[in-house]
Amino acid sequence: MKRLLTIASFYLINFGLWELLKGYIGPEWDSFLVYVILFPLIIAIFWKEIRSEWKEFSSILKTKSFYVKLLIWLILDLLLTGLILWGSSYFGWDILPQNNDSVKEQMTVVPTYLTVIQGCIFAPVIEELVFRYAIIGKPKNAVSQVLLFLVSVVMFDCIHIVRPLEFFYYLIPALFLTSFYMTKRNPFISMSLHSVINIVGYISLIVGVL
Kindly report, residue by residue over 155-206, the tens digit of the pLDDT: 999 998 888 889 999 999 999 999 999 999 999 999 999 999 999 999 988 8
pTM: predicted TM-score of the whole model, two decimal places:
0.92
CA triple 106-210-113, angle to 5 deg: 35
- Higher pLDDT, residue 139 or 121: 121
Identify which of 190, 77, 175, 56 has the alpha carbon closest to the alpha carbon of residue 134. Answer: 190
- Higher pLDDT, residue 208 or 152: 152
Q: What is the DSSP letter of 210?
A: -
Instruction: Give Cα 127 distance to the centre of its chain.
Output: 5
Residue 55: CB atoms within 10 A of its CB come to 9
The Cα–Cα gap between 122 and 41 comes to 11
**pLDDT tier, 102 (very low <50, low <70, confident <90, very high otherwise):** confident
Q: Are 133 and 187 in contact (CB under 8 A)?
A: yes
The Cα–Cα gap between 4 and 141 comes to 20
pLDDT score recorded for residue 27: 72
pLDDT score recorded for residue 105: 85
pLDDT score recorded for residue 18: 62
Rg (CA), the chain: 17
Indicate whether 209 pLDDT > 80.
no
pLDDT score recorded for residue 20: 65
pLDDT score recorded for residue 206: 84
**pLDDT tier, 208 (very low <50, low <70, confident <90, very high otherwise):** confident
Instruction: State whether the Cα torsion 203-97-110-119 is positive or negative.
Output: negative
The Cα–Cα gap between 84 and 172 comes to 9
Q: What is the DSSP string of 36-83?
A: HHHHHHHHHHTHHHHHHHHHHHHHHTT-HHHHHHHHHHHHHHHHHHHH
Q: What is the DSSP letter of 96?
A: -
Instruction: Give Cα 98 distance to the centre of its chain.
Output: 16
Q: Are 159 and 72 in contact (CB under 8 A)?
A: no
